[in-house]
Copies of this chain bind each other. A is one copy, B any other.
Amino acid sequence: MATSSAAALWYFESVNLYHILCPHKVKKMGDKHEFIRYKKDDFVYVPEDTASNIYLIVDGRIKIGHYLDDGKEVVSSILTTGEIFGELALAGEDTRRDFAQAMCDAVICPLTIEELKALMFENKELSFKILKLIGLRLMKLERKLELLVFKDARTRVIEFLKDTATWKGQRVGFETMIPTKLTHKDIAALTGTSRQTVTTILNELKEQNLINFDRKKILIRDINNLR
A interface residues, Cβ below 8 angstroms from B: 3, 6-7, 10, 13-14, 66, 68, 72, 74, 76, 88, 90-95, 97-98, 117, 120-121, 124, 127-128, 130-132, 134-139, 141-142, 144-146, 148-150, 192
Contacts and interface: CB of A to CB of B under 8 A. Distances in A.
Given A68-B146, A145-B145, 20 more contacts: A6-B95, A10-B92, A10-B93, A10-B94, A14-B92, A88-B138, A88-B139, A90-B131, A91-B131, A91-B132, A92-B128, A92-B132, A93-B139, A117-B128, A121-B124, A127-B127, A130-B131, A131-B131, A131-B134, A144-B145
A68 B144 contact: no
A37 B6 CA distance: 31
Given A88-B135, A88-B139, A138-B88, A148 B145 contact: yes
Name the residue among A88, A117, A135, A144 with the largest chain B CB count within 10 angstroms.
A135
B93 A135 contact: yes
19 contacts: A6-B97, A7-B97, A10-B94, A66-B146, A72-B150, A76-B142, A90-B131, A90-B135, A91-B131, A91-B134, A92-B135, A120-B127, A134-B134, A134-B135, A138-B138, A144-B145, A145-B145, A148-B148, A149-B192
